[in-house]
A and B are shown apart, each in its own frame.
Chain A
């Protein structure tokens, strides 16, 4: 038996927002793969929960006329990986999600939960940083849309106000069209592990010249982090191994990894350089461009 103080289940967004409003201390539970484990470990004893699993409109992935992709926060990692639209436009986001946990977890854990728990190691987060994803947040009385970069405040801390819930993840066409991408999860095991470093790269190349490059990491700082110095350096360069190496070096100016039992700061710095360099060369081999 879980030590849950109160459980309410919503079937619509409005109902969930009402529960959150009326009981400000309550928390949303979606797939439960983080929250239930925390409760079992005694971290959130007596927690008040609002279940949102049955709010089906939050499970949708659609693309509107302007080409903006809208991903519902209840989309599971399995759904993300298998979804036709995701595979057509941002397959690398599905690929990133496919590295999270193990199959049974991916069958129930959601992309919204991955973002809202605020972990720097979240496998979908750094790619969403590269994609300039925007988050639509609602309370009973208000709504707002903010860049994902502004949502992350610190380790495990996100800008989710009392009574607020994530209802949509938005990616504009300009942020995915013509890009190739790759997520590299460096971890001790291939499954059921947390990244020592997660590296997300998006690349747009024309005639061997880098038109646009986006680089972000998980576990390289207290939150996922974009590497503006590396990105600025890369634009306009002809892709060579030397340039790829420099991109990796430049990335170090944007990150602040730390020592942990999973790996030392020095080890992480080595990975940050190496993974960016390898990803650049790999995407170059793939043509650096994708029909989208």
Chain B
């Protein structure tokens, strides 16, 4: 069944019809061309599809699009302001945290969720906050360091 929903995507209010059976990931990629949102494992293990929903990092591949009605969705495409990368994005670049890049948008989403809590985090807490993402290139160390830098 089709339902009309309204959600804010990267600051813009969008109204559209979605199928009950569609995932948020499908809607973001196929209707809005937000390709930072990656389809990885499809079972909630890899975190490549994470987006911010009302400020929380959530896997969009196991989230029905109809649930997004009335909510605020943010993807990495919305992080850049006036041609400038966000603090966290810049930290990832500076620390060389990116190799193939597939997992990085997901990591940035969870790192940004952390940043917006506006407090300090121990290394153990940072690692735990990022533990819902898999990276097969970096060995995580530089991603953790970049996140810590972005949090400062």
Contact = CB atoms under 8 A, between A and B. Distances in A.
Interface in A188-247: 190-192
A4 B18 CA distance: 14
A1 B26 CA distance: 8
B64 A104 contact: no
Given A7-B64, A40-B42, A104 B128 contact: no
A237 to B, nearest CB: 35
Contacts of B19: 1
B21 interface: yes
Given A7-B1, A103-B110, A78 B56 contact: yes
Contact of B59 (A9, A104, A191): A104
Contacts of B66: 7, 9, 51
Contacts of B132: 101-105, 191-192
A104 B106 CA distance: 10
Nearest to A98: B128
A281 interface: no
Question: Which one of A9, A41, A102 has the highest number of Cβ atoms from chain B below 10 Å of its Cβ?
Answer: A102
Contacts of A105: 44, 59, 132
B20 A192 contact: no
Interface in A149-202: 190-192
Contacts of B151: none
Contacts of A287: none
Nearest to A29: B64
A33 B62 contact: yes
Nearest to A192: B45
B21 A3 contact: yes
B44 A104 contact: yes
B83 to A, nearest CB: 29
Contact of B58 (A37, A51, A108, A192): A108
B121 interface: no
A256 interface: no
Contacts of A2: 21-23, 64
B57 A104 contact: yes
A7 B132 CA distance: 28
Nearest to A102: B132
A107 B44 contact: no
B43 interface: yes
Nearest to A108: B58
Interface string B22-46: 1100100000000000000011110
Interface residues of A, number: 26
B47 interface: yes
Contacts of B133: 102
B129 interface: yes
B21 A7 contact: yes
A41 B45 CA distance: 14
A26 to B, nearest CB: 13
Contacts of A191: 128, 131-132
Contact of A103 (B26, B42, B62, B128): B128
B22 to A, nearest CB: 6
B42 to A, nearest CB: 6
A181 to B, nearest CB: 20
B21 A4 contact: yes
A1 B19 CA distance: 8
B58 A107 contact: yes
A37 B44 CA distance: 8
Interface in B45-75: 45, 47, 50, 56-59, 62-64, 66-67
A252 interface: no
A122 to B, nearest CB: 16
Given A2-B21, A104-B59, A192-B131, 6 more contacts: A6-B1, A33-B62, A104-B58, A108-B58, A108-B59, A191-B131
8 closest A-B pairs by beta carbon, nearest first, are: A102-B132, A191-B131, A7-B20, A107-B56, A103-B132, A104-B132, A36-B62, A2-B21
30 contacts: A1-B22, A2-B22, A2-B23, A2-B64, A4-B20, A6-B1, A7-B1, A7-B21, A7-B66, A33-B44, A33-B62, A36-B62, A37-B43, A37-B62, A40-B62, A51-B64, A101-B132, A102-B44, A102-B45, A102-B131, A102-B133, A104-B57, A104-B58, A104-B110, A107-B58, A108-B58, A190-B131, A192-B45, A192-B131, A192-B132
